[in-house]
């Protein structure tokens, strides 16, 4: 079992060669709990007295990204929690008055609230894309609640100020949907064609992943949530400074705008065929100041790494939690 070593820079643990997963796993039971401003739908598996791990999904995906990761972690003795994020599946707001914000700090607060509701004092947090961003924020702002961190594509904390910086034309092209969502045409288009939109993103972001119709449909059902469009559109508009955030989160956003370092044990992962925008590992390595490893997962692995390479993702959770 590889053990992370202390580093202020990039420590490569070597590429992990894995066959692609068919990603066809599913969950059979779902629980609900009031947590913060939400009634959260979540999967819970494994021994209640085992080390806790919270698995956080991305857009446009859902909890089924972890359907094959979960039994691997359960077999290793973990208490696994896989929640639907706000705007997905059976998660709903407790009040009509709560702002339907998708800004990053809101999702992090949701995670802490869920931990509190489940009486989880400390957990390993792990995710990809939106979920990775949430996990990194939790680790940066509430390190005393985090045992370890697994983040696909590394350090994803941003801010509205950072979002003002123009990228190269080639890089901007990868964010086409962000600009589409900035328009009312884009909002209406996503609302009308959210499944077609998500399927396109899946194919662009994971060009080698041969998922079947049933696998996609299982996750796409979660986009029927009545708050889904509001959350997604707000997230991307907020990034560009085109939408106001929740004022109650201003203090947290100010801390995140300073790009805080992360001192908890961390393993970052990247697939060798990630077709979505993602930073070079060398660009963010120094943000992780504790024990740190970066792993490149080979085998045609794209953006949805937990579902495409569940063994590699589970291995990272196990290693970072028990090192």
**Cα dihedral 30/33/35/41 (nearest 10):** 20
At 294, give phi and psi (nearest 5°): -120, 135
Which stretches of the chain drop beneath a pLDDT of 50? 1-10, 18-21
DSSP helix/strand/coil, 288? strand
Of 159, 106, 111, 163, the closest CA to residue 139 belongs to 111
pLDDT in the model for residue 2? 37
Instruction: Compute the Cα dihedral for 137, 141, 144, 145 and give only its sign.
Output: negative
126: β partners? 55, 150
pLDDT at 170: 87
- Among residues 24, 67, 20, 12, the alpha carbon closest in space to that of 312 is found at 20
Other CB atoms within 10 Å distance of the CB of residue 302: 24
Q: Which residue, among 11, 44, 7, has the nearest Cα to 29 in the 3D structure?
A: 44
Q: Give the burial class of 286: count Cβ atoms within 10 A of its Cβ; 0-12 exposed, 13-18 middle, 19 or more buried.
A: middle
Residue 104 to residue 136: CA distance in whole angstroms: 10
> What stretch of H or E contains 124?
strand 123-128
pTM as predicted? 0.92
The count of structural domains within the chain is: 1
Contact 90, 228 (CB under 8 A): no
Domain with 104 in it: 5-322
- What sign does the CA torsion over 266, 272, 278, 280 have? positive
* pLDDT in the model for residue 25: 61
95-131 b/e (C-beta count within 10 Å ≥ 16 → b): eeeebbbbbbbbbbbbbbbbbeebebeebbbbbbbbb
Q: Which residue has the tokens 């045409």?
A: 185
C-alpha radius of gyration, the chain, whole number: 18
Cα–Cα distance between 119 and 2 in angstroms, integer?
31
Sequential DSSP letters for 26-58: -----EEEEETTEEEEEEEES-TTSPEEEEE--
Question: Could you say which DSSP state residue 262 is in?
Answer: B
The pLDDT tens digits of the residues spanning 34-44 come to: 999 999 999 99
CATH code, 284: 3.40.50.1820
How many helices (H) and strands (E) are present in the chain, helices listed first?
14, 11
| Ramachandran angles phi, psi of 167, nearest 5° | -105, 175
């Amino acid at each position: 079992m590889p053990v992370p070593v202390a580093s202020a820079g990039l420590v490569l643990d070597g590429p992990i060669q894995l066959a692609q997963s068919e990603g066809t796993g599913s969950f059979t039971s779902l629980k609900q709990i009031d947590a913060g401003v939400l009634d959260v739908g979540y999967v819970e598996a494994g021994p209640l007295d085992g080390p806790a791990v919270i698995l956080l999904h991305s857009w446009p995906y859902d909890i089924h990204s972890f359907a094959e990761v979960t039994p691997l972690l359960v077999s290793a003795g973990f208490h696994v929690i896989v929640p639907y994020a706000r705007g997905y599946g059976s998660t709903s707001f407790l009040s009509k008055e709560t702002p339907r914000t998708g800004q990053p700090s809101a999702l992090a607060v949701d995670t802490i609230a869920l931990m509190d509701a489940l009486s989880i004092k400390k957990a390993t947090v792990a995710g990809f894309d939106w979920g990775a961003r949430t996990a990194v924020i939790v680790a940066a702002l509430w390190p005393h609640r985090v045992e370890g961190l697994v983040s696909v594509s590394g350090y994803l904390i941003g801010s509205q100020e950072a979002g003002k910086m123009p990228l190269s034309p080639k890089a901007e092209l990868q964010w086409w949907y962000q600009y589409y969502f900035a328009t009312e045409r884009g909002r209406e288009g996503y609302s009308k064609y959210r499944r077609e939109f998500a399927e396109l993103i899946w194919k662009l972001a994971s060009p080698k992943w041969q998922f079947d119709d049933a696998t996609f449909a299982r996750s796409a059902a979660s986009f029927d949530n009545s708050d889904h469009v509001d959350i997604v559109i707000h997230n991307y508009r907020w990034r560009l400074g085109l939408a106001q955030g929740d004022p109650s989160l201003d203090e947290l956003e100010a801390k995140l705008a300073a790009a805080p370092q992360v001192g908890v044990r961390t393993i970052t992962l990247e697939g060798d065929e990630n077709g979505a925008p993602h930073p070079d590992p060398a660009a963010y390595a120094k943000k992780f100041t504790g024990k740190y490893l970066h792993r490149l997962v080979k085998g045609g692995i794209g953006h949805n790494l937990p579902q495409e390479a569940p063994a590699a993702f589970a291995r990272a959770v196990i290693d970072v939690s028990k090192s």
